[in-house]
């Protein structure tokens, strides 16, 4: 790996799963094995355990068994194939390979596939890494790496392994009595709680895999019987707070219940729920007049604004799906997204000048909503109806679309145990319009009868102005990354933190 690999490492999907579980007491539910040793320093957390009896249960080599089991374990955590970029410490040089485990296969088959991948491993170089990225379209999205960086070595008890730049180091040590499994986790990525859970849970998974090698990987338990019992006792069962419905039905219910409540505010412009509902109906009729109907997709190239909220509402009322387009999107990306989505229309403002051939355009700066009908548009909607399609950046491959449905957005807006939102709440509208967080902010407010406060890009980029904006609007809920909050505090400690309660 290059010298920047350590700073560019990101939390994998599997690690994020354990991070969320650790916050719910998952760590205490997985007791460490009696033969587990633990140590830590500023850069790494280390765990060691004797695995002689487990590795002797299979006919395959101990190194192949251990490596395959760990890759399968990462995949099993998230119920999909987990790509693992592994650097192996070979006798004379380091080798790199990308492993991908099929969860429907059994452990024996997975070992054979892993050994085939190991046999074709290439010497470590930037060129080899680039080729792997191109072949497998490795991509990072939403602050989460699409693969786990793993260092792997099989060596003697006393041998030194120089793979400390990797996110995780998995080492099989040959001891006088058999084998020990040694794992080191980069503390910059994995807290002690996550590392503990990953290692202890892996030992249980390794035992399950080696004792039933013919069982499909997706049927193996992630934790032992004792841990499952503790989890069942310690975690309350999930109960939905509200019926999962389509977005429009819930929004119209909020309009009927609190028509004069402020729905969205942008500087001096404040719209009530009644006004927002009326304007979105008018825009829906205009879109309908251009041929937009249920099942279509509509590109939306607007900044965070009242107009963006009106547009997204209008589109979902028609049973169509909105596709947010960043204002600085190059024509090549817009064309690619159109090829995949087949836009029925493009909604934008005067400043967005890109166009797609044969796609109708609504320039909101030149469109008079007041002349359109205000009667509710009628569409057949249910929780499975598409509401939104978000795209990855495409920085290392082709952009990939992710569909968000009415039911999914409804669930995260109305059924979150850790976010209490009601009519008195004010939600900051401050995330990138093309990110999932932006849709979360919007629907969290509108489906709960709360108020959505538009925070401009200029305000978001200035810690002092951002804090003042949150205070001015009385924001109670904001969705920010920890890194961004820390940056605000570092830049302007006295004024960057809002003088309000922010979750």
DSSP assignment of 198-214 = HHHHHHHHHHHHHH-TT
> Does 384 share its domain with 448?
yes
Number of domains in the chain: 2
- Domain final residue, candidates 234, 261, 285: 234
8 A C-beta contact, residue 224 and residue 55:
no
The helix-helix angle for 436-446 and 247-257 (nearest 10°) equals: 40
Residue at 319 is within a domain? yes
CA gap 258, 103 in Å, rounded: 49
> Does 267 share its domain with 213?
no
Residue at 380 is within a domain? yes
> Does 230 share its domain with 255?
no
Residue at 495 is within a domain? no
Query: The CATH number of the domain where 218 resides is what?
Result: 3.30.559.30
Q: 298-348, pLDDT tens digit by residue?
A: 999 999 999 999 999 999 999 999 999 999 999 999 999 999 999 999 999
Residue at 473 is within a domain? no
Q: What is the DSSP letter of 431?
A: S
> Does 226 share its domain with 292?
no
> Does 321 share its domain with 201?
no
Residue at 199 is within a domain? yes
Q: 162-183, pLDDT tens digit by residue?
A: 666 677 888 899 888 899 998 8
Q: 52-75, pLDDT tens digit by residue?
A: 988 887 788 898 999 899 888 887
CA gap 195, 86 in Å, rounded: 18
Structure token pair of residue 208: 């399950």
8 A C-beta contact, residue 390 and residue 399:
no
Query: The CATH number of the domain where 394 resides is what?
Result: 3.40.50.12780
In the predicted model, what is the mean pLDDT of residues 136-155?
Answer: 56
> Does 315 share its domain with 187?
no
> Does 450 share its domain with 397?
yes
Residue at 467 is within a domain? no
8 A C-beta contact, residue 258 and residue 271:
no
Residue at 462 is within a domain? no
Residue at 101 is within a domain? yes
8 A C-beta contact, residue 302 and residue 365:
no
Domain that holds residue 67: 5-234
| pLDDT reported for residue 14 | 47
> Does 103 share its domain with 251?
no
> Does 252 share its domain with 226?
no
């Amino acid at each position: 790996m290059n010298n920047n690999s350590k700073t560019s490492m990101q939390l994998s999907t599997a690690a994020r799963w354990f991070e969320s579980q650790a916050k719910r007491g998952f760590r205490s539910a997985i007791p460490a094995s009696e033969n587990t040793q633990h140590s830590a320093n500023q850069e790494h957390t280390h765990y060691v355990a004797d695995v002689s009896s487990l590795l002797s249960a299979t006919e395959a080599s101990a190194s192949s068994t251990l490596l395959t089991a760990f890759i399968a374990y990462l995949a099993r955590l998230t119920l999909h194939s987990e790509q693992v970029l592994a650097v192996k410490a070979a006798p004379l040089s380091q080798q790199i390979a990308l492993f991908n485990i099929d969860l429907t296969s059994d452990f024996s088959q997975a070992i054979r596939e892993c050994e085939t991948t190991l046999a074709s491993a290439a010497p470590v170089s930037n060129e080899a890494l680039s080729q792997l990225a191109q072949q497998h379209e490795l991509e990072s999205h939403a602050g989460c790496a699409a693969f786990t960086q793993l260092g792997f070595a099989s060596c003697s008890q006393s041998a030194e392994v120089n793979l400390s730049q990797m996110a995780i180091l998995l080492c099989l040590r040959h001891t006088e009595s058999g084998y020990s499994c040694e794992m080191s986790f980069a503390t910059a990525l994995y807290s002690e709680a996550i590392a503990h859970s990953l290692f202890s849970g892996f030992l249980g998974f390794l035992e399950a895999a080696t004792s039933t090698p013919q069982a499909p990987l997706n049927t193996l338990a992630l934790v032992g019987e004792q841990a499952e019992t503790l989890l069942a006792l310690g975690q309350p069962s999930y109960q939905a707070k509200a019926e999962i419905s389509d977005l429009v039905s819930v929004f119209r219910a909020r309009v009927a219940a609190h028509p004069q409540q402020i729905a969205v505010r942008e500087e001096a412009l404040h719209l009530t729920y009644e006004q927002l509902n009326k304007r979105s109906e008018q825009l829906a009729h205009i879109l309908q007049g251009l041929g937009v109907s249920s099942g279509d997709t509509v590109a939306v190239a607007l900044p965070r604004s009242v107009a963006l909220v009106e547009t997204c509402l209008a589109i979902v009322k028609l049973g169509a799906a909105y596709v947010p387009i960043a204002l600085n999107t190059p024509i090549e990306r817009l064309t690619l997204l159109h090829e995949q989505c087949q836009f029925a229309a493009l909604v934008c403002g005067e400043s967005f000048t890109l166009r797609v051939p044969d796609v109708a355009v609504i320039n909101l700066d030149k469109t008079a909503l007041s002349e359109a009908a205000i009667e509710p548009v009628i569409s057949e909607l249910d929780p499975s109806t598409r509401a939104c399609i978000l795209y990855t950046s495409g920085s290392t491959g082709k952009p990939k679309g992710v569909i968000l449905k009415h039911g999914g957005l409804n669930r995260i807006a109305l059924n979150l145990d850790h976010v209490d939102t009601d009519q008195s709440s004010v939600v900051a509208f401050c995330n990138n319009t093309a990110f999932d967080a932006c849709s979360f902010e919007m629907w969290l407010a509108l489906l709960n009868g709360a108020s959505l406060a538009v925070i401009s890009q200029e305000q978001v980029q200035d810690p002092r102005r951002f804090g003042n904006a949150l205070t001015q609007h009385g924001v109670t809920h904001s969705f920010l990354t920890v890194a961004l909050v820390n940056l605000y505090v570092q830049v302007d400690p006295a004024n960057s933190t809002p003088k309000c309660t922010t979750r």
